[in-house]
Amino acid sequence: MNNKYILGMIGLGTMGRNLLLNMADNGFSVTGYDKDARMLQKLEEDGKAHNLKGFASVEDFIQSLELPRRVMLLVPAGQIVDSVIQELVPLLDKGDMIIDSGNSHFTDTSRRAEDLSKQGIHFFGMGISGGEEGARFGPSMMPGGDKTAYNTVKPILEAVSAKVNGDPCVAYIGPGASGHFVKMVHNGIEYAIMQIIAEAYYMLKNGMGYNNEQIYNTFKKWNEGRLHCFLLEVTRDIFKVKDAKSGGYLIDVIKDEAKSKGTGKWTSQISMDLQLPIPIINEAVSSRDLSKFKQLRVVLANALPHETEKIDNPADFEVQLEQAFYFAMITCYAQGLHLLSQASTEYKYDMNLQEISQIWRGGCIIRAALLEDIYHAYSEQPDLAHLYADAGIQNKLKEIVPGTRKVIGNAIQNGFALPAFASALTYYDSFRTANSPLNLTQAQRDFFGAHTFERTDEPGIFHADWNSDNL
């Protein structure tokens, strides 16, 4: 068989198939492999214009690829990735490469890269964001690992990626598992933004008594301003959809128990390991978990009622709610980027936060107008310690924090749960507190466990005899 395909895709589900179609649209000769004959047929049907063909035999698939072979995986994360790699390795030659484009945990990516390197096979992990539409017409991609391997597919990835101001939304992230680490944090930010949208919806519906049409109009108005983002855009349209079965709005018959695939949880877990707080992301994860206790929530809602007061000036409150949303949104990105900064140091990823914010501007699920400001902040100060430290961001925070406090104060007074909004404000207040009460925590630790402490008036490590009569 003549070698003719520049890249082969394993996994021809929606994402894999759409990415192949995107590559074909951009003039690349590509093919795919899938054990499911229906997926092969679907590829041929959708790719008829480019005469796209797939393979049912992995041996024939591998033999059809140009050397060095470029094999991309878009299969479910976990054991399936290891199984596919195990099947591929005997068929590959030294110098060939495997690209894992699923949502793999970064520690798995590190292990796989090390194992394959010993066998002379290049490997790197690449996060892809944008869903099926992004894969088809331009995703945001976060490749990291073997740079030699990346450079051989760089022209393909740049061609198929989303573009913002002519810039491709793909960039080499760094060594090791940095690509999958960035995608994991991207997903954590995604969780957080979805949560603040849900909390804004909750206040519009329950605090202000808005119906679905009014909520649609509010989200539409907000999305036309500084809150513009993909997630708010799709949320807006949810409030127009009618339910064929009930005749009412579909949103009103959807059960309030949220599912998750675990990537938000991974972000929270690694933040604890790195000892870097990302409370708004943690609250988003916790809110999904708490939502599953529906029966208990119904019981407690009846047992522990709370009277609410009518909002006196709905127009003013809507403005304040928009400010609280923007405040929380800034904080979502600030916490995620701060975690990336810490991970870059800890794992020697050498990440460029300017480039990361650049490639998130288009194609991906967390794309937003705010990312232009974030991109410029890191362009001017590549070593910016925290997004809050940027003067432009500080000006925004000063403008919107008064309205944020009023919204959260109203919610607390009326018993409305806004965990992400409240967490964002507490995080902000904690970071702008020069002298925290944690000196007491250090004293406590030394009192009961002789864990020692540091002093403010001289260097060194100290321990006090807290039970001494002289104290």
Cβ contact 22:138 at 8 Å: yes
Query: How far is it, in rounded angstroms, from Cα 288 to Cα 267?
Result: 14
Give me the catalytic one of 45, 59, 147, 183: 183
Does residue 183 carry a catalytic annotation? Answer: yes
- 57 by Cβ neighbours in 10 Å (0-12 / 13-18 / 19+) ranks as exposed
- 382 by Cβ neighbours in 10 Å (0-12 / 13-18 / 19+) ranks as exposed
Query: How far is it, in rounded angstroms, from Cα 220 to Cα 236?
Result: 6
How many residues are recorded in the chain? 471
| 3-state secondary structure (DSSP) of residue 75 | coil
Query: How far is it, in rounded angstroms, from Cα 224 to Cα 274?
Result: 37
Give me the catalytic one of 158, 190, 255, 398: 190
**Torsional class of 119: left (φ above 0), alpha (ψ -120 to 50), beta (otherwise):** alpha
Cis-peptide, bond into residue 68, ω within 30° of zero: yes
Cβ contact 169:191 at 8 Å: no
Site of tokens 């999904």: 288
Does residue 355 carry a catalytic annotation? Answer: no
CA distances in angstroms from 248 to 213, 251, 254, 361, listed in the order given = 12, 9, 12, 36
Taking alpha carbons only, the member of 261, 262, 281 closest to residue 271 is 281
Strands 122-129 and 140-145, by their bridges, are antiparallel
Strands 163-164 and 167-168, by their bridges, are antiparallel
Q: Where are the beta strands (DSSP E) in 386-443?
A: none
Q: What are phi and psi of 375, to 5 degrees?
A: -60, -45
Query: How far is it, in rounded angstroms, from Cα 238 to Cα 123?
Result: 40
- Residues known to be catalytic: 183, 190
